[in-house]
Each structure stands twice: as C-alpha cells, then as structure tokens.
Amino acid sequence: MTFKLPIYMDHHATTPVDPRVLDAMLPYFSQEFGNASSIDHIFGARAHEAVEKAREQVASNLNARPEEIIFTSGATESDNIALLGVAEKMAAKGDHIITCVTEHKAVLDTAKHLETMSKTVTYLPVDRYGLVDPGDVEDAITDRTILISIMAANNEIGTIAPLKEIGKIAKAHGVLFHTDAAQAVGHIPIDVKEMGIDLLSLSGHKIYGPKGIGALYIKGANPKGKVSPVMFGGGHERGIRSGTYNVPGIVGLGKALEIAEKEMEAENKRFRKWIKQMLEAFQENIEGVVLNGHPEKRLAHNLNVCFPGIESKALIHLLRNDVAISAGSACTTTSVEPSHVLKAVGLGDSDIYSTVRFGSGRFNTGEEIEHCIHVVISGSKKLRRVSG
C-alpha cells in the first residue's frame, strides 16, 4: 500500500491547501507583512501590489474586470452581502427575491431573515435531479422583484444549474441575478458575461486555497449602485466591505484560481473516470444503490448515492480509519434534521439517512479510489448482515 490512511474523500466540505498556494502565501505572513492600505511606504505598497495581482487572477477566472471583485471572508459573507445589500439598495424599486429550496443555508437563512424585514421571498422547487426550471423562475417574477439567487452547483448532490438561461431571463426583466458559486468556481467554467451574472459568491477553501477568504463579484464600475454595504469601517473594497486586508489569504485565493484555470479540464477528466468506477462498483456489489442528482449535469468530482437499508452515519463511523466521507453538507452536520436538499428532490427520510456523499480531489490517486471502493462495499455488506 503506497498511500496513507484515512483517505480524504470529502472535498465538497473543504480541500487541502495546494503546496503551490502555500508557497505563494508564506512570504506575506512574515517578510511582506505590510498593511495593504498603508501604501505610502514600501511594506504596504508590496502588500497592495499582491492584493491587486490576486484581484486580477480572480477576475480572469470569471471573465470579469479586476475592479468588479470584492474580497470577503468567504462565500457565506459574500452571500449575505449580496442578498442583504441588494435588498437595502433596491428597496425603493421592490421587495421581492426569488431563490430555490436547495440553496446553501448561507442563502436560505439570509432569505428567511429578509422575510422578518418585510421582504417577500419565493422559494422555487426543483425536479428529482435537483434542477430548477428556468420557466418557473420567469413565472415567479413580479414588478416588485429585485433579485434572483440560484446556486451554480449544489454542494450535496452536485447538480449544475442552468445559469445562462436564468441569466437571460433576469436581464430580460431587469432583475439582478446572483449565484452562490462556491462549489462551481474552479471546478467548472464560469463566465459571468456569457451567463448574465450580476453577483457571484466564491470561497477559497473549496478550490485548494486557504479558509477564511472569498470574494464577491459585482458587475459594473459602481458596486454601490447595486449593493449597500452591510458592515462599516475604513471604506475598503470600494466601500462595500471594510476591514484590514487578509493579504496571505487573498494571495492564496488568487493563486488557487490561477492553478484551477490551468488544470480544471485534466482534473475533471480524471474525476469523471473515478466517479464512474465507484458508482458502477457500488451498483454491482451493493443491492439497490441509487445515484442522487443529475446523471450528466453534475460536478465531475461529486458522487451522492443512497445505500438502502444502511444507515449512512453507521457506515461513515465504521470506515472512519479508512476513508473520510460525508452524510451531507458540512455546514449542517450538527443538525439532526434530514437534508433539505434530498427532501427537495423527493427522497423519504429512510433514504435520506442512507445517503453518502463522496467528493474526490486533486491529490487522490487511483489506488486510493480502489481502496475506497473496497472498504465501502465490505463495510456495507457487514452492516447489512448486522441489521438483517
């Protein structure tokens, strides 16, 4: 065996920092430690240069302009700024927001908060694959609608949304379009211009960058024309997001996206092969295995499957020394409530509690995939014998 146990297969929850990213970040902790806002001296000027280089790297990945990128602490903050900021800025125009039942809690909980502030929110359903119908989006638009927020790719089942179609609908009706793209950026091509996206949230730790850094893309030269700030201070990030720059994190985010842009295609080819191999092996050796999410319109590194009659938490615990896998979103694992995503695609509670998410990653190997397959099959059979 040429690999270490346990094998990490939960890359939707977080990813390890790529060594190349770490190398780019390290000088900005100790040598180039300046405050990027103190540009009158060389220490601050170098930090500022590093921040602006990263801004260009992020913008390049999205086909955006550098000045359209606002650095944040992560996608959760970006989602909050997008929804709360648009709701406040556009209050005179309208008070209606359209989103989807399978969104991340960073969007859903923010939407629920807006409802307590007398805003109206429409939560669109999805089909059994987790796809929202663009026709439903258009039908939900009223003369009071100010924002559509639909995630680019689902964090649990990997389904990729029809962003371009929704973007066209939003533009035709003069409504802003936001997407939580934390799981998509760096994994699938995202072009904000082609897709008609006005606001986009992303996070560094989903793309082999550091935790605690993210960005919000806001279309246009004047971000304050679309979004009101939700925190205040020194007026950093064009007045949208005040606070001292996390220079090492920003540098890491930029480098992570630069790498992703170059390696995405080759990575996805490898991931597709592994996920196909895993699904076929599970279906051949474990009775009743069902794929959740869209069979084709899905993230290449995602596999979400139901093992009927096997409690996912029991399987995860049994295999914890061999492989790290998940029963659902890392952001809601403290909850005993069944996954809202799996409920929305029509699964009953027993199937939800029998569902496991696998997320392959950049540093996995073919050997590790084979070992993962072996232990999941043997562990599933063992649990079935015990329960049977």
Tens of pLDDT, residues 69-92? 999 999 999 999 999 999 999 999
> Which residue is listed with tokens 């989602």?
79
How would you write 212-260 as a 3-class SS string? CCEEEEECCCCHHHCCCCCCCCCCCHHHCCCCCCCHHHHHHHHHHHHHH
For residues 206-227, average pLDDT: 97
pLDDT for position 269: 98
CA distance 260 to 186: 5
Mean pLDDT to the nearest integer, 272-286: 98
pLDDT at residue 337 in the model: 81
Q: 331 catalytic, yes or no?
A: yes
Does the pLDDT at position 352 exceed 70? Answer: yes
Q: What is the predicted pLDDT for the residue at 330?
A: 52
Q: Comparing C-alpha atoms, which of 95, 15, 69, 329 is closest to residue 200? A: 69
Q: For the chain, give every domain's residue range.
A: 7-16+264-387, 19-258
Q: What percent of the chain has pLDDT over 90?
A: 94
The phi and psi torsions of 89 (rounded to 5 degrees) equal: -65, -40
CB of 281 within 8 A of CB of 377? Answer: yes
Q: Which of 109-113, 155-159, 239-243 has the lowest mean pLDDT?
A: 239-243
Report the pLDDT averaged over residues 129-150: 98
Read off the pLDDT of each residue in 126-152 and give the average, rounded to a whole number: 98
Res 257: pLDDT = 98
Superfamily of domain 7-16+264-387: Aspartate Aminotransferase, domain 1 (3.90.1150.10)
In the chain the first and final C-alpha atoms are separated, in Å, by 33
Instruction: Find the mean pLDDT for residues 219-225.
Output: 94
Q: What is the mean pLDDT of the chain?
A: 96
Q: What is the CATH number of domain 19-258?
A: 3.40.640.10
Give tens-digit pLDDT for 28-67. Answer: 999 999 999 999 999 999 999 999 999 999 999 999 999 9
What is the predicted pLDDT for the residue at 385?
82
Which residue's entry shows tokens 């992020």?
Answer: 58
Residue 289 confidence (pLDDT): 97
- Of 195-204, 326-335, 372-381, the one with minimum mean pLDDT is 326-335
Residues with Cβ within 8 Å of residue 19, at least 6 apart in sequence: none
Cα 75 from Cα 176, distance rounded (Å): 18
Q: pLDDT-derived band of residue 139, with 50, 70 and 90 as boundaries?
A: very high
Spatial CB neighbours of 381, under 8 Å, sequence gap ≥ 6:
285, 286
Residue 329 banded pLDDT, cuts 50, 70, 90: low
Please check the confidence at residue 333 and state whether its pLDDT lies above 60.
no
Tell me, what DSSP letter sits at residue 2? -
Residue 182 identity (one-letter amino acid): A
Q: pLDDT digits over 156-192, tens only?
A: 999 999 999 999 999 999 999 999 999 999 999 999 9
From 100, 306, 331, 372, the catalytic residue: 331
Are the C-beta atoms of 166 and 148 separated by less than 8 Å? Answer: yes
What is the model's pLDDT at position 386? 78
> Phi, psi at residue 286, to the nearest 5°?
-125, 120
For 320, residues 6+ apart whose C-beta sits below 8 A from its C-beta are: 6
Residue with tokens 């035709």: 172
Name which of 108, 83, 11, 8 is nearest 337 in CA terms: 108
